[in-house]
Amino acid sequence: MKKAVQRDGKNIIYDTDRAKLLAHSSNDVSDMLLPTSYLYVTKNGNYFAYTLDKLNYIEDIKPLKDVSEAIEMFNKLPDKIVSYETAFPGIEFEDA
């Protein structure tokens, strides 16, 4: 899926085919009532969420405001494709 969004006066293209998948929620067939969420990052370092609602055949892309919002989503998604260090280069994880 591809979506163009105005951000800081620029037209940014969010494309699930060209961005890197970082994490997702893997809902199996028994969970078709729940939307599946994916976290992506573009080559330019813009993070976005892609949601697929299989029950209602709806898909959506939501640009994330900042890295902290992306980190929060990454931590909530159960299936990590890459490590924290790969998903957020240069950002150190702090223990609580």
Tell me: the pLDDT tens digits for 22-58?
999 976 655 666 788 999 999 999 999 999 887 788 8
Q: Is 58 exposed, middle or buried (0-12, 13-18, 19+ CB in 10 A)?
A: exposed
Q: Write the pLDDT tens digit of every residue in 51-90.
A: 988 778 888 999 999 999 999 999 999 999 999 999 999 8
What the block records as the tokens of 20 is: 């890197």
Interacting residues of 34 by C-beta distance below 8 A, sequence separation 6+: 25, 27
Q: What is the pTM of this model?
A: 0.85
For 19, other C-beta atoms within 10 Å of its C-beta total 22
Distance CA 56, CA 88 (A): 33
